[in-house]
Structure 1
Amino acid sequence: MLALHGVTGHGLRFRPLTEALPHRRWLGVDLRGHGRSPWVPPWNLEQHVADALGVLDDLGLDRVDVVGHSFGGAIAVHLARAAPERVRRLVLLDPALGLDAQDMLETAEETREDESFPDRESARVAKAEGWAAVPAELVEAEVEAHLEQRDGAWRWRYSRASIVAAWGEMARPAAVPPAGLRTVIVPATKADFVTEAWLADCRAVLGDELTVVPIDAGHMLYLEQPAEAAAIVERFLDA
Protein backbone atom coordinates (compact mmCIF):
# COMPACT_ATOMS: atom_id res chain seq x y z
CA MET A 1 0.00 0.00 0.00
CA LEU A 2 1.75 3.16 -1.21
CA ALA A 3 0.11 6.05 0.69
CA LEU A 4 0.33 9.60 -0.68
CA HIS A 5 -0.72 12.47 1.61
CA GLY A 6 -2.09 15.90 0.76
CA VAL A 7 -0.54 19.36 1.01
CA THR A 8 0.97 20.25 4.42
CA GLY A 9 0.84 16.56 5.36
CA HIS A 10 3.28 13.71 5.88
CA GLY A 11 3.37 9.94 5.62
CA LEU A 12 2.68 9.27 9.30
CA ARG A 13 -0.76 10.86 8.98
CA PHE A 14 -1.92 7.51 7.60
CA ARG A 15 -1.19 5.83 10.94
CA PRO A 16 -4.92 5.39 11.81
CA LEU A 17 -5.37 3.36 8.61
CA THR A 18 -2.16 1.38 9.08
CA GLU A 19 -3.20 0.48 12.63
CA ALA A 20 -6.67 -0.56 11.46
CA LEU A 21 -5.21 -2.67 8.63
CA PRO A 22 -1.94 -3.99 10.10
CA HIS A 23 -1.89 -7.12 7.93
CA ARG A 24 -1.08 -4.98 4.90
CA ARG A 25 2.37 -3.52 4.25
CA TRP A 26 2.10 0.28 4.23
CA LEU A 27 4.57 2.74 2.67
CA GLY A 28 3.67 6.19 3.96
CA VAL A 29 6.04 8.55 2.17
CA ASP A 30 6.67 12.26 2.75
CA LEU A 31 6.11 14.11 -0.52
CA ARG A 32 8.84 16.38 -1.86
CA GLY A 33 8.66 19.67 0.04
CA HIS A 34 7.19 17.93 3.09
CA GLY A 35 8.41 16.26 6.23
CA ARG A 36 11.81 14.64 6.03
CA SER A 37 11.95 14.32 2.24
CA PRO A 38 14.01 16.80 0.17
CA TRP A 39 12.38 20.22 -0.07
CA VAL A 40 14.06 21.28 -3.32
CA PRO A 41 11.90 21.91 -6.43
CA PRO A 42 10.39 21.09 -8.82
CA TRP A 43 7.11 20.46 -7.01
CA ASN A 44 4.91 19.58 -9.99
CA LEU A 45 2.84 16.44 -10.46
CA GLU A 46 5.39 14.90 -12.80
CA GLN A 47 8.14 15.16 -10.18
CA HIS A 48 5.92 13.73 -7.44
CA VAL A 49 5.11 10.79 -9.74
CA ALA A 50 8.82 10.30 -10.48
CA ASP A 51 9.58 10.39 -6.75
CA ALA A 52 6.92 7.76 -6.02
CA LEU A 53 8.24 5.49 -8.76
CA GLY A 54 11.74 5.97 -7.36
CA VAL A 55 10.54 4.70 -3.98
CA LEU A 56 9.03 1.61 -5.60
CA ASP A 57 12.20 1.00 -7.60
CA ASP A 58 14.43 1.37 -4.54
CA LEU A 59 12.32 -1.18 -2.66
CA GLY A 60 12.10 -3.57 -5.61
CA LEU A 61 8.31 -3.36 -5.81
CA ASP A 62 6.91 -3.96 -9.28
CA ARG A 63 3.23 -3.39 -8.51
CA VAL A 64 1.36 -1.91 -5.54
CA ASP A 65 -2.02 -0.68 -4.38
CA VAL A 66 -2.00 3.14 -4.13
CA VAL A 67 -3.93 5.26 -1.62
CA GLY A 68 -4.05 9.01 -2.15
CA HIS A 69 -5.72 11.74 -0.09
CA SER A 70 -6.41 15.25 -1.43
CA PHE A 71 -3.38 16.36 -3.51
CA GLY A 72 -2.03 12.86 -2.95
CA GLY A 73 -5.11 11.64 -4.81
CA ALA A 74 -4.17 13.79 -7.79
CA ILE A 75 -0.65 12.37 -7.68
CA ALA A 76 -2.07 8.85 -7.46
CA VAL A 77 -4.19 9.38 -10.58
CA HIS A 78 -1.25 10.78 -12.54
CA LEU A 79 0.95 7.92 -11.30
CA ALA A 80 -1.59 5.39 -12.56
CA ARG A 81 -1.77 7.13 -15.93
CA ALA A 82 2.02 7.42 -16.28
CA ALA A 83 2.84 3.88 -15.17
CA PRO A 84 -0.35 1.77 -15.19
CA GLU A 85 1.67 -1.42 -14.94
CA ARG A 86 2.89 -0.36 -11.46
CA VAL A 87 -0.57 0.22 -9.92
CA ARG A 88 -2.74 -2.76 -8.97
CA ARG A 89 -5.69 -0.87 -7.46
CA LEU A 90 -6.43 2.77 -6.64
CA VAL A 91 -7.99 4.27 -3.50
CA LEU A 92 -8.81 7.98 -3.75
CA LEU A 93 -9.79 9.67 -0.47
CA ASP A 94 -11.51 12.98 -1.28
CA PRO A 95 -9.02 13.65 -4.12
CA ALA A 96 -8.25 17.25 -5.08
CA LEU A 97 -7.81 17.79 -8.81
CA GLY A 98 -9.38 19.99 -11.46
CA LEU A 99 -10.13 22.66 -8.84
CA ASP A 100 -11.32 26.15 -9.74
CA ALA A 101 -8.36 28.24 -10.90
CA GLN A 102 -9.54 31.47 -9.26
CA ASP A 103 -10.05 29.67 -5.95
CA MET A 104 -6.58 28.18 -6.23
CA LEU A 105 -5.08 31.63 -6.90
CA GLU A 106 -6.74 33.03 -3.79
CA THR A 107 -5.72 30.03 -1.69
CA ALA A 108 -2.13 30.21 -2.94
CA GLU A 109 -1.96 33.92 -2.10
CA GLU A 110 -3.20 33.18 1.43
CA THR A 111 -0.64 30.37 1.77
CA ARG A 112 2.23 32.80 1.11
CA GLU A 113 1.73 34.35 4.56
CA ASP A 114 4.06 33.04 7.25
CA GLU A 115 2.64 30.62 9.81
CA SER A 116 4.62 30.15 13.00
CA PHE A 117 3.95 29.71 16.71
CA PRO A 118 5.76 30.85 19.85
CA ASP A 119 5.42 27.41 21.47
CA ARG A 120 4.08 23.88 20.90
CA GLU A 121 0.85 24.53 22.76
CA SER A 122 -0.08 27.42 20.46
CA ALA A 123 0.47 25.16 17.45
CA ARG A 124 -1.63 22.41 19.02
CA VAL A 125 -4.51 24.78 19.76
CA ALA A 126 -4.45 26.14 16.21
CA LYS A 127 -4.46 22.63 14.73
CA ALA A 128 -7.28 21.53 17.03
CA GLU A 129 -9.36 24.51 15.90
CA GLY A 130 -8.72 23.72 12.24
CA TRP A 131 -9.38 20.03 12.77
CA ALA A 132 -12.46 20.40 14.95
CA ALA A 133 -13.86 17.00 13.93
CA VAL A 134 -10.56 15.11 14.37
CA PRO A 135 -10.09 13.22 17.68
CA ALA A 136 -7.78 14.94 20.16
CA GLU A 137 -5.31 12.05 20.20
CA LEU A 138 -4.76 12.43 16.44
CA VAL A 139 -4.18 16.17 16.85
CA GLU A 140 -1.55 15.33 19.48
CA ALA A 141 0.01 12.79 17.10
CA GLU A 142 0.20 15.46 14.40
CA VAL A 143 2.04 17.84 16.74
CA GLU A 144 4.46 15.11 17.79
CA ALA A 145 5.25 13.99 14.23
CA HIS A 146 5.08 17.18 12.21
CA LEU A 147 6.04 20.21 14.35
CA GLU A 148 9.61 21.43 14.65
CA GLN A 149 11.53 24.44 15.93
CA ARG A 150 12.93 26.31 12.92
CA ASP A 151 14.07 29.87 12.26
CA GLY A 152 13.40 30.91 15.84
CA ALA A 153 9.81 29.67 16.05
CA TRP A 154 7.70 26.53 15.99
CA ARG A 155 6.60 25.58 12.48
CA TRP A 156 5.00 22.66 10.69
CA ARG A 157 7.56 20.59 8.82
CA TYR A 158 6.98 21.62 5.19
CA SER A 159 8.06 24.21 2.64
CA ARG A 160 5.44 26.91 2.14
CA ALA A 161 6.76 27.48 -1.39
CA SER A 162 5.96 23.87 -2.28
CA ILE A 163 2.41 24.35 -0.97
CA VAL A 164 1.88 27.42 -3.16
CA ALA A 165 3.05 25.36 -6.14
CA ALA A 166 0.70 22.51 -5.23
CA TRP A 167 -2.39 24.73 -5.40
CA GLY A 168 -1.43 25.59 -8.97
CA GLU A 169 -1.05 21.90 -9.81
CA MET A 170 -4.54 21.21 -8.47
CA ALA A 171 -5.92 23.79 -10.91
CA ARG A 172 -4.88 21.63 -13.87
CA PRO A 173 -7.72 19.98 -15.82
CA ALA A 174 -8.96 16.96 -13.89
CA ALA A 175 -7.46 13.69 -15.09
CA VAL A 176 -9.24 10.35 -14.59
CA PRO A 177 -7.73 6.94 -13.79
CA PRO A 178 -6.88 4.79 -16.81
CA ALA A 179 -9.44 2.32 -18.15
CA GLY A 180 -9.34 -1.12 -16.56
CA LEU A 181 -7.95 0.02 -13.20
CA ARG A 182 -10.05 -0.99 -10.21
CA THR A 183 -10.69 2.25 -8.33
CA VAL A 184 -12.64 3.37 -5.29
CA ILE A 185 -13.39 7.05 -4.78
CA VAL A 186 -14.36 8.17 -1.28
CA PRO A 187 -15.81 11.72 -1.41
CA ALA A 188 -16.23 13.71 1.80
CA THR A 189 -19.83 14.93 1.88
CA LYS A 190 -18.91 17.97 4.01
CA ALA A 191 -16.26 19.15 1.53
CA ASP A 192 -16.51 20.22 -2.11
CA PHE A 193 -13.37 18.82 -3.72
CA VAL A 194 -15.01 15.97 -5.67
CA THR A 195 -17.46 17.16 -8.33
CA GLU A 196 -20.28 15.22 -9.95
CA ALA A 197 -18.87 16.11 -13.37
CA TRP A 198 -15.54 14.45 -12.56
CA LEU A 199 -17.27 11.40 -11.11
CA ALA A 200 -19.27 11.12 -14.34
CA ASP A 201 -16.04 11.25 -16.36
CA CYS A 202 -14.58 8.51 -14.15
CA ARG A 203 -17.67 6.34 -14.60
CA ALA A 204 -17.52 6.79 -18.36
CA VAL A 205 -13.91 5.53 -18.46
CA LEU A 206 -13.91 2.94 -15.67
CA GLY A 207 -17.43 1.52 -15.84
CA ASP A 208 -17.83 -1.43 -13.46
CA GLU A 209 -14.23 -1.02 -12.28
CA LEU A 210 -15.29 2.08 -10.31
CA THR A 211 -16.77 2.13 -6.81
CA VAL A 212 -17.91 5.36 -5.15
CA VAL A 213 -18.50 5.33 -1.38
CA PRO A 214 -19.08 8.75 0.25
CA ILE A 215 -18.26 9.40 3.91
CA ASP A 216 -20.22 11.92 5.97
CA ALA A 217 -17.16 13.90 7.04
CA GLY A 218 -14.99 16.87 6.17
CA HIS A 219 -11.94 16.82 3.92
CA MET A 220 -9.78 15.07 6.56
CA LEU A 221 -12.18 12.13 6.36
CA TYR A 222 -9.72 9.37 7.22
CA LEU A 223 -8.77 11.20 10.43
CA GLU A 224 -12.32 12.22 11.29
CA GLN A 225 -13.77 8.76 10.59
CA PRO A 226 -10.77 6.38 10.62
CA ALA A 227 -12.76 3.19 11.33
CA GLU A 228 -15.22 3.87 8.51
CA ALA A 229 -12.46 4.82 6.07
CA ALA A 230 -10.48 1.70 6.94
CA ALA A 231 -13.56 -0.49 6.49
CA ILE A 232 -14.17 0.97 3.02
CA VAL A 233 -10.56 0.37 2.00
CA GLU A 234 -10.63 -3.18 3.36
CA ARG A 235 -13.90 -4.09 1.62
CA PHE A 236 -12.62 -2.71 -1.65
CA LEU A 237 -9.31 -4.57 -1.48
CA ASP A 238 -10.96 -7.84 -0.43
CA ALA A 239 -13.68 -7.72 -3.11
Structure 2
Amino acid sequence: AEINVHFDSIIQGKASTAINYTATFPIEGKHDQVRIEAYDDQGNEINISSDGIDLETVKKNNRIIVKGRSIIPQSIKGETSYIEVLPKVALSEPDRFIKLDEGTPVEINSERQDLAVEIENITVQDQNIIFDFQINNGNNMDLEFLFYSNIARNDVILVKETEKDIYQEPIKHSVEVINKDDLRFTSTFDISKIKDFNLKDYVIRVNMGSLSANIPNELEKVRIDLN
Protein backbone atom coordinates (compact mmCIF):
# COMPACT_ATOMS: atom_id res chain seq x y z
CA ALA A 1 0.00 0.00 0.00
CA GLU A 2 3.10 2.24 -0.16
CA ILE A 3 2.80 3.31 3.47
CA ASN A 4 5.60 4.03 5.92
CA VAL A 5 5.34 4.73 9.64
CA HIS A 6 8.39 6.06 11.47
CA PHE A 7 8.35 6.28 15.26
CA ASP A 8 9.96 9.57 16.23
CA SER A 9 9.85 9.70 20.03
CA ILE A 10 8.35 8.46 23.26
CA ILE A 11 7.39 11.15 25.79
CA GLN A 12 7.10 9.64 29.25
CA GLY A 13 5.09 11.81 31.61
CA LYS A 14 3.95 11.27 35.19
CA ALA A 15 0.40 10.37 34.21
CA SER A 16 0.60 9.39 30.54
CA THR A 17 2.92 8.36 27.72
CA ALA A 18 2.87 9.77 24.18
CA ILE A 19 4.05 7.86 21.12
CA ASN A 20 4.93 10.29 18.31
CA TYR A 21 5.26 9.10 14.73
CA THR A 22 5.45 10.26 11.14
CA ALA A 23 3.28 8.41 8.61
CA THR A 24 3.72 8.74 4.86
CA PHE A 25 0.89 7.84 2.49
CA PRO A 26 0.33 7.99 -1.27
CA ILE A 27 -2.00 10.77 -2.45
CA GLU A 28 -4.96 8.39 -2.65
CA GLY A 29 -4.38 7.57 1.00
CA LYS A 30 -4.94 11.08 2.34
CA HIS A 31 -7.79 9.77 4.50
CA ASP A 32 -5.91 6.70 5.77
CA GLN A 33 -5.73 6.32 9.55
CA VAL A 34 -2.89 4.94 11.66
CA ARG A 35 -3.84 2.68 14.55
CA ILE A 36 -1.39 1.35 17.07
CA GLU A 37 -1.18 -1.66 19.37
CA ALA A 38 1.50 -1.64 22.08
CA TYR A 39 2.87 -4.47 24.25
CA ASP A 40 5.20 -4.50 27.26
CA ASP A 41 8.28 -6.69 27.77
CA GLN A 42 6.06 -9.48 29.12
CA GLY A 43 3.89 -9.51 26.02
CA ASN A 44 0.92 -7.85 27.74
CA GLU A 45 -1.07 -5.39 25.66
CA ILE A 46 -0.89 -1.78 26.84
CA ASN A 47 -4.07 0.27 26.68
CA ILE A 48 -4.02 3.16 24.22
CA SER A 49 -6.76 5.67 24.99
CA SER A 50 -6.32 8.11 22.10
CA ASP A 51 -5.13 6.72 18.80
CA GLY A 52 -4.16 8.37 15.55
CA ILE A 53 -4.19 12.02 16.68
CA ASP A 54 -3.11 14.09 13.66
CA LEU A 55 -0.83 16.95 14.72
CA GLU A 56 0.20 18.12 11.25
CA THR A 57 -0.53 17.10 7.67
CA VAL A 58 1.43 18.27 4.61
CA LYS A 59 1.66 17.29 0.95
CA LYS A 60 5.17 16.83 -0.41
CA ASN A 61 6.50 15.17 -3.57
CA ASN A 62 3.12 13.63 -4.35
CA ARG A 63 2.92 12.10 -0.86
CA ILE A 64 0.86 12.88 2.23
CA ILE A 65 2.96 13.24 5.39
CA VAL A 66 1.19 13.10 8.74
CA LYS A 67 2.75 13.89 12.11
CA GLY A 68 0.69 11.88 14.57
CA ARG A 69 0.45 10.86 18.19
CA SER A 70 -1.07 8.05 20.24
CA ILE A 71 -1.58 8.30 23.99
CA ILE A 72 -1.10 5.64 26.68
CA PRO A 73 -3.16 6.91 29.66
CA GLN A 74 -0.55 5.96 32.25
CA SER A 75 3.11 6.27 33.00
CA ILE A 76 5.09 3.24 31.89
CA LYS A 77 8.40 4.55 33.22
CA GLY A 78 10.03 1.78 35.20
CA GLU A 79 7.19 -0.62 34.36
CA THR A 80 8.74 -2.15 31.24
CA SER A 81 12.19 -2.01 29.64
CA TYR A 82 10.78 -1.71 26.14
CA ILE A 83 7.53 -1.60 24.24
CA GLU A 84 6.68 -3.44 21.07
CA VAL A 85 4.52 -1.39 18.76
CA LEU A 86 2.36 -2.88 16.01
CA PRO A 87 1.20 -0.18 13.57
CA LYS A 88 -1.91 -0.82 11.53
CA VAL A 89 -3.37 1.40 8.83
CA ALA A 90 -7.05 1.60 7.97
CA LEU A 91 -6.98 2.29 4.22
CA SER A 92 -9.52 4.67 2.75
CA GLU A 93 -11.58 3.37 -0.18
CA PRO A 94 -14.07 5.20 -2.41
CA ASP A 95 -17.64 4.00 -2.87
CA ARG A 96 -18.30 1.91 -5.97
CA PHE A 97 -21.52 1.93 -8.00
CA ILE A 98 -23.17 -0.72 -10.18
CA LYS A 99 -25.97 -0.04 -12.63
CA LEU A 100 -29.03 -2.27 -12.37
CA ASP A 101 -28.83 -3.23 -16.04
CA GLU A 102 -25.13 -4.08 -15.83
CA GLY A 103 -24.16 -7.60 -16.81
CA THR A 104 -23.44 -9.91 -13.90
CA PRO A 105 -21.38 -11.15 -12.20
CA VAL A 106 -19.62 -7.89 -11.35
CA GLU A 107 -16.65 -8.06 -8.99
CA ILE A 108 -15.50 -4.96 -7.14
CA ASN A 109 -11.95 -5.22 -5.85
CA SER A 110 -10.11 -2.91 -3.52
CA GLU A 111 -7.22 -1.23 -5.31
CA ARG A 112 -5.04 -1.22 -2.20
CA GLN A 113 -5.71 -4.45 -0.32
CA ASP A 114 -7.22 -7.87 -0.80
CA LEU A 115 -10.93 -7.06 -0.34
CA ALA A 116 -13.80 -7.71 -2.72
CA VAL A 117 -17.56 -7.66 -3.16
CA GLU A 118 -19.06 -9.60 -6.06
CA ILE A 119 -22.59 -8.91 -7.24
CA GLU A 120 -23.49 -12.32 -8.62
CA ASN A 121 -26.99 -11.67 -9.89
CA ILE A 122 -29.52 -8.81 -10.17
CA THR A 123 -33.23 -9.60 -10.48
CA VAL A 124 -35.87 -6.98 -11.26
CA GLN A 125 -39.45 -7.77 -10.27
CA ASP A 126 -42.61 -5.65 -10.25
CA GLN A 127 -42.25 -4.68 -6.59
CA ASN A 128 -38.69 -5.67 -5.73
CA ILE A 129 -35.07 -5.37 -6.76
CA ILE A 130 -33.10 -8.43 -5.65
CA PHE A 131 -29.39 -8.97 -5.81
CA ASP A 132 -27.20 -11.84 -4.69
CA PHE A 133 -23.67 -11.06 -3.60
CA GLN A 134 -20.58 -12.45 -1.91
CA ILE A 135 -18.08 -10.64 0.31
CA ASN A 136 -14.30 -11.24 0.18
CA ASN A 137 -14.71 -14.40 -1.91
CA GLY A 138 -15.83 -16.11 1.28
CA ASN A 139 -12.68 -15.25 3.28
CA ASN A 140 -13.76 -13.99 6.70
CA MET A 141 -10.21 -12.86 7.64
CA ASP A 142 -10.80 -14.11 11.20
CA LEU A 143 -13.60 -11.61 11.80
CA GLU A 144 -16.98 -12.48 13.32
CA PHE A 145 -19.84 -13.23 10.93
CA LEU A 146 -21.86 -10.41 12.54
CA PHE A 147 -19.44 -7.91 11.01
CA TYR A 148 -20.16 -9.21 7.50
CA SER A 149 -23.91 -9.38 8.05
CA ASN A 150 -23.80 -5.71 9.07
CA ILE A 151 -21.83 -4.90 5.92
CA ALA A 152 -24.44 -6.78 3.88
CA ARG A 153 -27.31 -4.86 5.47
CA ASN A 154 -25.84 -1.36 5.58
CA ASP A 155 -23.15 -1.07 2.93
CA VAL A 156 -24.42 -2.89 -0.17
CA ILE A 157 -27.62 -0.97 -0.88
CA LEU A 158 -29.88 0.46 -3.57
CA VAL A 159 -29.69 4.25 -3.96
CA LYS A 160 -30.94 6.88 -6.36
CA GLU A 161 -28.07 7.83 -8.64
CA THR A 162 -28.59 11.56 -8.14
CA GLU A 163 -28.32 10.97 -4.36
CA LYS A 164 -25.60 8.32 -4.40
CA ASP A 165 -23.21 10.41 -2.30
CA ILE A 166 -25.83 11.23 0.34
CA TYR A 167 -25.98 8.90 3.32
CA GLN A 168 -29.51 8.67 4.60
CA GLU A 169 -32.06 6.05 5.65
CA PRO A 170 -31.83 3.28 3.03
CA ILE A 171 -34.72 2.03 0.95
CA LYS A 172 -36.67 -0.59 2.91
CA HIS A 173 -35.04 -3.97 2.38
CA SER A 174 -34.40 -7.37 3.87
CA VAL A 175 -31.19 -9.41 3.88
CA GLU A 176 -31.10 -13.20 3.76
CA VAL A 177 -28.02 -15.30 4.45
CA ILE A 178 -27.57 -17.73 1.57
CA ASN A 179 -24.38 -19.38 2.79
CA LYS A 180 -22.78 -18.25 6.06
CA ASP A 181 -19.45 -19.98 5.45
CA ASP A 182 -19.10 -18.46 1.98
CA LEU A 183 -20.33 -15.00 3.08
CA ARG A 184 -23.13 -15.09 0.49
CA PHE A 185 -26.23 -12.93 0.89
CA THR A 186 -29.39 -11.88 -0.91
CA SER A 187 -30.85 -8.39 -0.49
CA THR A 188 -34.44 -7.65 -1.47
CA PHE A 189 -35.40 -3.98 -1.86
CA ASP A 190 -39.05 -2.96 -1.79
CA ILE A 191 -39.67 -0.44 -4.57
CA SER A 192 -43.48 -0.52 -4.37
CA LYS A 193 -43.60 2.88 -2.64
CA ILE A 194 -41.20 4.60 -5.05
CA LYS A 195 -43.18 6.75 -7.45
CA ASP A 196 -42.31 6.39 -11.15
CA PHE A 197 -39.46 3.99 -10.45
CA ASN A 198 -37.00 3.77 -13.35
CA LEU A 199 -34.11 1.30 -13.47
CA LYS A 200 -31.83 3.92 -15.00
CA ASP A 201 -32.29 6.22 -12.00
CA TYR A 202 -30.93 3.77 -9.40
CA VAL A 203 -27.60 2.08 -8.70
CA ILE A 204 -26.16 -0.36 -6.17
CA ARG A 205 -23.75 1.44 -3.87
CA VAL A 206 -20.97 -0.67 -2.36
CA ASN A 207 -19.31 1.09 0.55
CA MET A 208 -15.83 -0.42 0.35
CA GLY A 209 -14.59 2.07 2.93
CA SER A 210 -16.66 0.46 5.66
CA LEU A 211 -15.08 -2.88 4.83
CA SER A 212 -11.50 -1.62 4.65
CA ALA A 213 -11.74 0.56 7.78
CA ASN A 214 -12.38 -2.55 9.86
CA ILE A 215 -9.70 -4.67 8.20
CA PRO A 216 -6.57 -2.53 8.57
CA ASN A 217 -3.24 -3.36 6.96
CA GLU A 218 -0.66 -4.56 9.48
CA LEU A 219 2.88 -3.23 9.19
CA GLU A 220 5.98 -4.69 10.83
CA LYS A 221 6.12 -4.73 14.62
CA VAL A 222 8.94 -2.61 16.05
CA ARG A 223 10.65 -2.69 19.45
CA ILE A 224 11.39 0.61 21.19
CA ASP A 225 13.90 0.58 24.05
CA LEU A 226 12.77 2.78 26.93
CA ASN A 227 16.12 2.77 28.70
Please give the range of the TM-score, normalised by the shorter of the 2 chains: under 0.3
More strand by share: 2
Q: Provide the TM-score with structure 1 as the length reference.
A: 0.24
Look at both structures and tell me which one has the larger radius of gyration over its CA atoms. 2
More helix by share: 1
Q: Provide the TM-score with structure 2 as the length reference.
A: 0.25
